[in-house]
Structure 1
Amino acid sequence: MGHPISHGFLLILLFSSIIFTKHACDLAERNALSSLSITQSSPPLNWTASVDCCQWEGITCDQGGRIIRLQLPSKGLKGGMFLSSLKNLTHLSHLNLSHNLLSGPVDAGLFLALTHLEILDLSFNLLSGQISSSICFNSSLVRVLDFSDNDFKGSIPLGLGNCSKLEVFRAGFNTLSGFLPSDIYNAQTLQEISLPYNKISGPIGALFTNSERAEMPSVSFFDSNFAPISLLSNGEQNGTRGFSLLLPSLSSTQCSSFPLLQSCSHGFIPF
Structure 2
Amino acid sequence: MRTALITATSLRHLLLLLSLLVVARLPTHTFSLSPDGKALLSLLASAAGPPSPLLPSWNPSLATPCSWQGVTCSPQGRVISLSLPNTFLNLTTLPPQLSTLISLQLLNLSSANISGPIPPSLGRLSSLRLLDLSSNSLSGAIPAELGALSSLQFLFLDTNRLFGPIPATLANLSSLEVLCLQDNLLNGSIPSHLGSLLSLQQFRVGGNAFLTGSIPPQLGLLANLTTFGAAATGLSGPIPPEFGNLVNLQTLALYDTDISGSIPAELGSCSELRYLYLHMNKLDGPIPPELG
Q: Same fold (TM over 0.5)?
A: yes
Tell me the equivalent position of 1:195: 205
| Distance in 2 separating the partners of 1:79 and 1:63 | 30
1:189-219 alpha-carbon deviations (Å, 9 max, x no partner): 1111001111323324321235xx3x33410
How far is 1:43 from its partner? 3.1
Aligned length in residues: 231
Give, as a single letter, the amino acid of the residue that structure 1 aligns with 2:36.
E
How far is 1:187 from its partner? 0.9
Q: 2:71–2:82: 8 Å Cα contact kept in structure 1?
A: yes
Q: 2:180–2:205: 8 Å Cα contact kept in structure 1?
A: yes
Note if 1:130 corresponds to 2:159: no
Note if 1:171 corresponds to 2:181: yes
Tell me the equivalent position of 2:77: 65
Give, as a single letter, the amino acid of the residue that structure 2 aligns with 1:260.
P
Q: State the SS of the aligned residue for 1:34.
A: helix
Which of 233, 245, 260 is the aligned partner of 2:286?
Answer: 260
TM-score scaled by length of structure 2: 0.69
Note if 1:30 corresponds to 2:37: yes
How far is 1:157 from its partner? 1.2
The sequence identity of aligned pairs, in percent, is: 29
How far is 1:185 from its partner? 1.2
Tell me the equivalent position of 1:145: 155
The change in CA–CA distance for 1:259 and 1:42 in structure 2 (over 3 A counts) is farther
| Distance in 2 separating the partners of 1:45 and 1:193 | 38
TM-score scaled by length of structure 1: 0.74
| Distance in 1 separating the partners of 2:102 and 2:77 | 12
Tell me the equivalent position of 1:81: 93
| Distance in 2 separating the partners of 1:168 and 1:233 | 14
Q: State the SS of the aligned residue for 2:104.
A: coil
Q: Which has the larger radius of gyration?
A: 2
Tell me the equivalent position of 2:272: 243
Q: 1:47–1:53: 8 Å Cα contact kept in structure 2?
A: yes
Structure 2, unaligned runs of 5 or more: 1-30, 240-245, 252-266
Q: 1:72–1:97: 8 Å Cα contact kept in structure 2?
A: yes
Which of 37, 49, 55 is the aligned partner of 2:67?
Answer: 55
Give, as a single letter, the amino acid of the residue that structure 2 aligns with 1:257.
L
How far is 1:79 from its partner? 1.2
| Distance in 2 separating the partners of 1:60 and 1:99 | 20
How far is 1:257 from its partner? 3.3
How far is 1:186 from its partner? 1.0
The change in CA–CA distance for 1:261 and 1:41 in structure 2 (over 3 A counts) is farther
The change in CA–CA distance for 1:55 and 1:178 in structure 2 (over 3 A counts) is same
Q: State the SS of the aligned residue for 1:127.
A: strand
Note if 1:117 corresponds to 2:165: no
Give, as a single letter, the amino acid of the residue that structure 1 aligns with 2:286.
L
Q: 2:104–2:127: 8 Å Cα contact kept in structure 1?
A: yes
1:121-170 alpha-carbon deviations (Å, 9 max, x no partner): 00000000000111132x31111111000000011011011111111100
Which of 180, 187, 190 is the aligned partner of 1:180?
Answer: 190
| Distance in 2 separating the partners of 1:97 and 1:244 | 33
How far is 1:67 from its partner? 0.3
Q: 2:163–2:186: 8 Å Cα contact kept in structure 1?
A: yes
Give, as a single letter, the amino acid of the residue that structure 2 aligns with 1:90.
I
The change in CA–CA distance for 1:129 and 1:148 in structure 2 (over 3 A counts) is same
